[in-house]
Structure 1
Amino acid sequence: MNQSYKQKQSVTYYMCDRTQQLTLSMLVNVLLNVSENHSAELNRQESVIREMGFNWIVLRYEFVVTRMPHYKEEVEIETFATEYNKLFTYREFIVRDNNQNELIKVKTTFALMNIENRKMTRIPSEVINPYQADFSKRIRRNAKPHEVDLIQAVQTNYSVRYFDIDANQHVNNSKYIEWLLDSLNASFMASHQIQHGIITFDKEVKEDDTVTSKVSHRSDAHLYTDHQILVDETIHASASFQWNER
């Protein structure tokens, strides 16, 4: 039985965009905070893992959004580790309103990084056992973001700043999401809402790097945007989002 953790969260003003809805970047910050609180309850918080010589890193997010919470709304966030193998562990989050309606479901892939050589390492049993996740030899073959159409793509450049770097000495996940979505114009963001999204992280972005954010649009039955974050033409993160009108 997976070890589940629940936490109440109020949506404050600084978490919202101009439409008074929770932003995707702030959602990720909230989810990672809930994840850390869950780990602390099991005595596997960041400081304990760091003493073992490791850090958790996120490799993938997949979002399914019914609606984003709004300003002053209180939601309940449930999280649990579902499965792990020798290299990856999979954690899910469910965001519900006060009537227990499911607003958002997020699937994540985590890996353990060796602090000394900054490479992924096998997950020791003493790290993962308290979460009561199921072990599987199978490595999941998750859907990947759609490739950017480079012919019609537009791009924006950003400089990595001091405050973009977190305690793990790399750019915080939420900053990637800001770069991804900032490449879309304001009128599009104000009139559209994410329904589904996949984000994958391939390489670290470091302090003093110059980042290029590329985006292209496509549509069939739905409207999609496809994204890349690059440094010196090397892809560091990719994403695809499905949108509907607000």
Structure 2
Amino acid sequence: MKTMLAYRAEPTVVTVLSSSLAWDKPKLRSGGNIKNLHNHIGVKYPKCTKSITSSYNMGGRTRKPDPDKIHDILGGRMVEENRVFQQELMVRSSDIGSDRKLSIVALSNYLQDTLVNHGELIGVLSDGFSTPEMSRRDLVWVAYKTGIAIHCYPSRHDVIQVHTKLYESGKNRLGVDWIFSDLNSGNPLILASSLYTMMNMRKRKLSKFVEEARMELKPYFMPENSPLIENTRKIQTINIDTTDFTSLDLCPGWNDLDINQHVNNAKYIEWILEGVPSSIKKSHGISRIDMEFRKECDSDATLQCLSKMVGNYNSESHSSANGNNEGLIEVEHSLRLDSGQEIARGRTSWNPKHHQQLG
């Protein structure tokens, strides 16, 4: 496999300041005050709870944590009238990147793992990503959209508390919200939201939300939903003639496939990051990711990632039009098969690292 990064002459990007990302910087572990995230983007989140039991059940695959126990550090517990799932996670050495902070790929895996734990604890997952009624019809959940907003990166050995909640999004989609908080201070670190739709595993086609499956999930739906995805700007189509950076010959490996026999969503994010020059990744950190998943990708695919800078930007100096480095950098991405068919598109927002309050 050979990967090539091609540069177009005089790429253009502008400094973009999104109101949803212009957050006040928290003072982690210092006891300082911080405004709630819902004041910035309208998201409510449960209060961070620090209680953890001294013992927990290691168990096997059939382990069913008792929701009445005060806490099960492996499986988590239900809070907020049994509608919100809460779990603690410790950032491991394998979860951090070169900057010693939680990597984006590890964060993507956290989203999946806590969601599956949520479904197993309330008893609505029978096999992988299906409810019992979905399994009878060969249906599974597949991601349609994902949005991640990062306010502060946790480090190795930091303990973070995750809350997940479910809600209906329209007639045919399931919405999931995640809130990542610092366990010591209770300050929110990361927000994420995803929309899921049903797919028929035999026909490999999308399906309507089966009413019997809706009734299985309905007792656990929250009434409100996050605007993290709904209020997101549309990601524009990238013309190959105007792209700024191109990554070629991207190929999935066997370990990139999930139990639905297609490429895991975390791999899509890893691929679009390949379309950003290392010079930007060294000087900037990701503050926002938006993804739209359009088509399955299997193990035999060969892909290319097209990336285009948004606005007026100098790639050599990493400076905005006014000569400083105060603004965000935004990059739009398109993952395509060699045939030209688009399988996903995304947008990443990058802040200068010295502007990010890292934990």
1:233 paired residue number: 340
In the TM superposition, what is the alpha-carbon distance from 1:51 to its structure 2 partner? 2.8
Distance 1:191 1:2 in 2: 43
Q: Is 1:122 aligned to 2:208, yes or no?
A: yes
1:27 paired residue number: 107
Distance 2:350 2:238 in 1: 16
* Structure-2-length-normalised TM-score: 0.63
In the TM superposition, what is the alpha-carbon distance from 1:127 to its structure 2 partner? 3.7
Q: Which amino acid aligns with 2:199?
A: M
Q: Which amino acid aligns with 1:184?
A: V
Q: Give me the CA root mean square deviation.
A: 2.2
Check conservation: 1:46, 1:55, Cα contact below 8 A.
no
Check conservation: 1:42, 1:130, Cα contact below 8 A.
no
- Counterpart of 1:208 in 2: which secondary structure? coil
Structure of greater Rg: 2
Deviations along 1:153-181, one digit per CA (max 9) or x if unpaired, are: 22112122222211100000011111010
2:350 to 230, 243, 246: 243
1:40 to 112, 120, 124: 120
Higher RCO (C-alpha 8 Å, min separation 6) = 2
Distance 1:188 1:154 in 2: 12
2:281 to 180, 189, 200: 189
Check conservation: 1:144, 1:200, Cα contact below 8 A.
no
1:178 paired residue number: 270
In the TM superposition, what is the alpha-carbon distance from 1:149 to its structure 2 partner? 5.6
Consecutive unaligned residues of structure 1, counting only runs of 5 or more, are none
Distance 1:43 1:152 in 2: 46
Q: Which amino acid aligns with 1:114?
A: N
2:135 paired residue number: 51
- Counterpart of 1:100 in 2: which secondary structure? coil
Higher strand proportion: 1
Q: Percent identity at matched positions?
A: 22
Q: Which amino acid aligns with 1:203?
A: K
Moved over 4 A (4+): none
Q: Is 1:108 aligned to 2:194, yes or no?
A: yes
In the TM superposition, what is the alpha-carbon distance from 1:134 to its structure 2 partner? 4.2
Distance 2:231 2:283 in 1: 33
2:61 paired residue number: none
Check conservation: 1:37, 1:45, Cα contact below 8 A.
no
Alignment of 1:23-172 (within 5 A): 23-45=103-125, 47=127, 49=131, 51-52=135-136, 53-98=138-183, 99-123=185-209, 124=211, 125-134=214-223, 143-148=233-238, 150=240, 151-156=242-247, 157-172=249-264
In the TM superposition, what is the alpha-carbon distance from 1:226 to its structure 2 partner? 0.8
Check conservation: 2:162, 2:179, Cα contact below 8 A.
yes
Query: CA, structure 1 residues 105+135, in 2 after alignment: closer, same or farther (shift >3 Å)?
Result: closer
Distance 2:246 2:223 in 1: 42
Consecutive unaligned residues of structure 2, counting only runs of 5 or more, are 1-80, 313-326, 354-359
Q: Is 1:218 aligned to 2:310, yes or no?
A: yes
Check conservation: 1:2, 1:133, Cα contact below 8 A.
no
Check conservation: 2:245, 2:276, Cα contact below 8 A.
no
Distance 2:283 2:245 in 1: 20
In the TM superposition, what is the alpha-carbon distance from 1:146 to its structure 2 partner? 3.5
Q: Which amino acid aligns with 2:234?
A: K
Distance 2:301 2:194 in 1: 26
In the TM superposition, what is the alpha-carbon distance from 1:91 to its structure 2 partner? 0.9
- Counterpart of 1:238 in 2: which secondary structure? strand
In the TM superposition, what is the alpha-carbon distance from 1:142 to its structure 2 partner? 5.3
Check conservation: 1:91, 1:109, Cα contact below 8 A.
yes
Residues matched between the structures, number: 243
- Counterpart of 1:108 in 2: which secondary structure? strand
Q: Is 1:7 aligned to 2:87, yes or no?
A: yes
Check conservation: 2:146, 2:292, Cα contact below 8 A.
yes
